[in-house]
Amino acid sequence: MTGPELRSGRGAVSTTAPRPAARLHPGTGAEAPPAARSQVARPVGRPGVLRQRLGLLGGLAAVLLLAAISLFVGVSELSVGDVLTGDLDDAQRQTLLASRVPRTVSILLAGSAMAVVGLVMQLLVRNKFVEPSTAGTTESAGLGLLVVTLLAPGMPLLGKMGVAAVFALAGTALFLLILRRIQLRSVVVVPLVGMMLAGVVGALSTFLAYGNDLLHTLSSWMTGDFSGVVRGRYEMLWIVAGCAVVAYLAANRFTVAGLGQEFTTNLGLNYRRVLALGLAIVAVTSAVVVVVVGGLPFLGLVVPNVVSLAMGDYLRRSLPWVALVGAGFVLVCDIVGRLVIYPAEVPIGIVVGIVGAGLFLYLLLRRPSGAR
* Residue partners of 105: CB distance under 8 A and separation at least 6: 234, 237
C-alpha distances in angstroms, 145 versus 149, 158, 285?
Answer: 6, 11, 14
- Residues 140 and 307: beta-carbon distance below 8 Å: no
Least confident of 14-18, 183-187, 204-208, 259-263: 14-18
pLDDT computed for residue 203 by the predictor = 94
CA gap 149, 170 in Å, rounded:
18
In tens, the pLDDT along 64-114 reads 999 999 999 888 888 888 888 878 888 888 889 999 999 999 999 999 999
Place 209 in a pLDDT band, splitting at 50, 70 and 90: very high
Place 228 in a pLDDT band, splitting at 50, 70 and 90: confident
In tens, the pLDDT along 29-40 reads 344 444 444 444
CA gap 229, 355 in Å, rounded:
23
Least confident of 170-179, 200-209, 214-223, 307-316: 307-316
pLDDT computed for residue 66 by the predictor = 95
pLDDT computed for residue 368 by the predictor = 56
- CATH 1.10.760.10 assigned to domain 82-365? The reply is no
Could you tell me which of 74, 61, 77, 67 has the C-alpha nearest to residue 104?
A: 67
The percent of residues above 70 in pLDDT, for the chain, comes to 84
Predicted structure pTM score: 0.81
Least confident of 133-147, 184-198, 247-261: 184-198
CA gap 199, 201 in Å, rounded:
5
- Residues 166 and 140: beta-carbon distance below 8 Å: no
Q: Please give the average per-residue pLDDT across 189-214, as a whole number.
A: 90
List the chain domain ranges.
82-365
pLDDT computed for residue 46 by the predictor = 66
Place 367 in a pLDDT band, splitting at 50, 70 and 90: low
Average pLDDT for the chain: 82
Q: Is the pLDDT of residue 126 over 90?
A: no
Place 43 in a pLDDT band, splitting at 50, 70 and 90: low
Question: ∠ CA(353), CA(359), CA(361), 5° rounding?
Answer: 100
pLDDT computed for residue 240 by the predictor = 92
Could you tell me which of 146, 143, 120, 144 has the C-alpha nearest to residue 132?
A: 120
Least confident of 4-8, 110-114, 288-292, 359-363: 4-8
Q: Annotate 83-115 with DSSP letters as a single string.
A: HHHT---HHHHHHIIIIIHHHHHHHHHHHHHHH
Q: Please give the average per-residue pLDDT across 230-242, as a whole number.
A: 89
Place 58 in a pLDDT band, splitting at 50, 70 and 90: very high
CB neighbours of residue 298 within 10 Å: 22
Could you tell me which of 74, 3, 59 has the C-alpha nearest to residue 321?
A: 59
- Residues 135 and 197: beta-carbon distance below 8 Å: yes
Place 1 in a pLDDT band, splitting at 50, 70 and 90: very low
Determine whether 55 is exposed, middle or buried from the number of CB atoms within 10 Å of its CB (0-12, 13-18, 19+): middle
Phi, psi of 285 (to 5 degrees): -60, -45
* DSSP 8-state secondary structure symbol assigned to residue 237: G
* DSSP 8-state secondary structure symbol assigned to residue 187: T
